[in-house]
Amino acid sequence: MGLFDLLKPDEFVNDLRNLQIERYLSMGKDVFVFDFDNTLGLWRNAEIKEDLKDMLEHLKSKGARVLIVSNGRPRKLKGLNDFDVIWRAGKPFSTKLKKIFEDFEPSRVVFVGDQIFTDVITGKRFGFYTIKVNPLSDREFFGTKLLRIFEKILLTCWKGR
């Protein structure tokens, strides 16, 4: 796998609410890994919008496993007690995640996040189906803002192809 392949998600979805859950389930995908900050909730926040929580609950009701993975600091997420959350995950190069993901069948996993250089690379490294969503907000960590410059260049290149 070349660097360009490692960076390009399998799918782009503008809004997390537009995930085609039934399609992924019909493809045999039954493990869904979500980034938290700026994917499910705002950066440094502990809340998730009700409709996104409903989506996660819907996945669980269909028998899917839902895992939330964040490089952020640990905090208690309101209303998400029934979900496994991994804080300070160390994406994209993490031995912590390697231990967790080693039991997953890659063809059954969808990895959803708002950042190419953390979320997409992490998913691709493990052979997962990756989905890049637009961030919920432009308020984010300074280092992330710098990486967004390179993301924009990549996105422009991909649109031209």
Give the Cβ contact number of residue 46 at 10 Å: 13
Stated pTM of the model: 0.85
pLDDT one-digit tens code per residue, 44-78? 777 788 888 899 999 999 999 999 998 878 777 76
Determine the number of helices (DSSP H) and then strands (DSSP E) in the chain. Answer: 6, 6
pLDDT one-digit tens code per residue, 131-154? 999 887 676 666 666 777 677 777
- Return the minimum-mean-pLDDT range out of 3-12, 102-111, 121-130: 3-12
Element (H, E) at 4: helix 3-7
d(CA 13, CA 143): 23
The full set of domains in the chain, from first to last, is 3-159 (3.40.50.1000)
Tokens 């440094």 — which residue? 44
